Amino acid sequence: MKMNSKKLLILYATQTGNALDAAECIAREAERRACLVAIRSTDEYDASSLPEEDTVIFVVSTTGQGDTPDSMKVFWRFLLQRNLGSHWLEGVHYAVFGLGDSGYQKYNFVAKKLDKRLSDLGATAVIDRGLGDDQHPSGYEAALDPWMALLWSRLSEIKPNFFLEGPDFLNVELIGQPKFQVSYHNVDNMDSQLSTAGDFEYLAMQIGRARSMSAGRVSHEKSKPDAFLKMIKNYPLTRASHEKDVRHLEFEFLSQVIQYEVGNVLEVLPSQNPAAVDSFLQRCNLDPESFITIHPREMENHHLDNNVNTLEVPIKLKTFVELTMDVASASPPALFLRGKILYVMSFFATAEHEKEKLQYFASPDGRDDLYQYNQKERRTVLEVLEDFPSVQVPFEWLVQLVPPLKNRAFSISSSPLVHPNQVHLTVDIVSWTTPFKRKRGGLCSTWLASLDPEQRICIPVWFQKGLLPRPPPSLPLILIGPGTGCAPFRGFVEERAAQSLYGSIASIILFFGCRNEEDDFLYKDFWLSHSKNDGVLSEAKGGGFYAAFSRDQPQKVYVQHKMQEQSQRIWNLLCEGAAIYVAGSSTKMPSDVMLAFEEIISKESGAPRESAVKWLRSLEKAGKYHVEAWS
């Protein structure tokens, strides 16, 4: 008899937490059907134990250009071992659900690779893989719901012993216990207010302590910040009348200087609106001055992050909320609201009409109305709580259910060679109006835009490797960066210009795009200065700068059209071994640019389109075609 013969194992691999959300949704639905469940991250599970499992559900996200999440890399390398053989997983049943973005060329690539590899190792699929798409109006939930319905139907047929009460049993009143336990402490003379903390090490430990206790922490994330910055410049790059507000922001290191590279990413922990935090504390009847510690509740069927070190040093409740719980950002995902908050809130509603409304929203029948209520209106968690005043959710549940306050990632737009003590960012200030005319704004971008360089505000940051590796000076470059996608390439050009002062450099051509030359030509003077007087973007140096202004003429002109105009120059650089770097929106731009390269290579080489496609694929494999795109 196999181990865990009646237990469903769910393994997830997440980069930002979405795969964990989806995995917990599947686990919750299994538990409602009286099915025993174990849920683990792939970096907490011994892959050699897979043949001993009965049925495994994989929930995996795809990052970057078809990359596995950090937490899955070791697990995936194990599965690729040649000695495992085609019968290694014989008798094991599995299902795969992937989370991806159809704006990328390699959409849900990790889920597709995993599905094939499991099959090759002899495992049997319960149902076809499910593919969630971040581009869908309802997000990945649109694919998850029907996929789960099919999963339970098929499992009840082939594995009826999984369901202890029978395949037709469904407990709609199951809530269980929260995953985390909150302990309150009597602490005298302990000052935990960030605003009064002057010592950077103390400040870093304070942030690390709060985030290590946070229910939303993912295992690969570093809790303590790498450094603290202060803003020294904040000015607009777009005309005041333009509908978009894009800022150039410059920062200096307050603490130790971190050695970063062009192409790296800066993650910023945003500061929340103090009034919103106070409103949340008041609405939930929480004592902001109490001191707490938080640790996972020991429960067999719930995810425990073995890497979390919950230091037994109490922290002020208000500080914990400020640093870890995103109480007032717009629109948590529909899955989060339906699968977690609204479902749990219904158990704590004392007004019958509120309980019924919450249960309806949390049901499949209520999806369309939930979409109108949440997604279109982009309600915050605080607003949802205020809409149902009879609900009083215990803090243990709030810790688990309120979205984690996540770092926001920005491409660095400076070179450390040119600015050794600084970091520059190019930030689009996110804002919009809902159908009911509510003004909304992105938490981090709005906060950064509001900062006054004259004030000394400590900004906690983390430095991460991006998807655009630093090129050596001898490598010719073809850069495509419309809109704020040009941000990392400002750093590339700065660095190449600095390198040209003491050695030879290869050519760079850059394609930039925006709507109007007068309104949103980001860094116009910078690009033009480097494209003249033998600058690194000048044609005299083998380079070039080409701008597409999509709305300045009746027919729209985009970067791919400018690329076609420079077809011969692009081909010549590719023949010299150039690398391609693409950055910007993930909607249509990356695929349109790829198609333009296919047409250019086919036209200039005289080869058929299929050969051009293979040629580009070989560039990708050789590490010479890089894409950094975002929704």
DSSP 223: S
What distance in Å separates the CA atoms of residue 186 and residue 290, rounded to the nearest whole number? 8
What distance in Å separates the CA atoms of residue 472 and residue 505, rounded to the nearest whole number? 9
What distance in Å separates the CA atoms of residue 59 and residue 335, rounded to the nearest whole number? 15
339 is in an annotated binding site: no
Q: How far is CA 386 from CA 317, 380, 538, in A?
A: 21, 10, 58
556 is in an annotated binding site: yes
63 is in an annotated binding site: yes
350 is in an annotated binding site: no
3-state class (DSSP) for residue 464: strand
- Angle of helix 589-605 relative to helix 609-621, nearest 10 degrees, comes to 120
Residue written as token pair 């809109």: 483
558 is in an annotated binding site: yes
Picking from 554, 531, 555, the residue whose alpha carbon sits closest to that of residue 543 is 531
15 is in an annotated binding site: yes
Query: Which residues are CB-contacts of 497 (< 8 A; sequence separation ≥ 6)?
Result: 418, 530, 535, 536
Sheet with 315-316: list strands edge to edge: 180-185, 291-296, 315-316
- Angle of helix 18-32 relative to helix 141-158, nearest 10 degrees, comes to 40
What distance in Å separates the CA atoms of residue 31 and residue 339, rounded to the nearest whole number? 13
409 is in an annotated binding site: yes
Query: Which residues are CB-contacts of 14 (< 8 A; sequence separation ≥ 6)?
Result: 20, 23, 41, 61, 69, 71, 218
559 is in an annotated binding site: yes
630 is in an annotated binding site: yes
Residue 186: how many CB atoms within 10 A of its CB? 7
How many residues in total does the chain contain?
A: 631
551 is in an annotated binding site: yes
Q: What's the gap between Cα 117 and its chain centre?
A: 26
42 is in an annotated binding site: no
62 is in an annotated binding site: yes
122 is in an annotated binding site: no
Q: What's the gap between Cα 165 and its chain centre?
A: 39
550 is in an annotated binding site: yes
Number of H helices, E strands in the chain: 20, 22
Angle of CA points 549, 553, 556, to nearest 5°: 65
442 is in an annotated binding site: yes
Positive/negative CA dihedral, 561, 567, 569, 574 = positive
Tokens representing 468 are: 């655009």
16 is in an annotated binding site: yes
247 is in an annotated binding site: no
Query: Which residues are CB-contacts of 114 (< 8 A; sequence separation ≥ 6)?
Result: 58, 60, 76, 79, 96, 98
Picking from 382, 384, 387, 377, the residue whose alpha carbon sits closest to that of residue 439 is 377
3-state class (DSSP) for residue 541: helix
64 is in an annotated binding site: yes
61 is in an annotated binding site: yes
445 is in an annotated binding site: yes
18 is in an annotated binding site: yes
Q: Which residues are annotated as a binding site for NADP(+)?
A: 484, 550-551, 556-560, 592
Q: Which residues are annotated as a binding site for FMN?
A: 14-19, 61-64, 134
Q: Which residues are annotated as a binding site for FAD?
A: 378, 408-411, 442-445, 630
Q: Which residues are annotated as a binding site?
A: 14-19, 61-64, 134, 378, 408-411, 442-445, 484, 550-551, 556-560, 592, 630
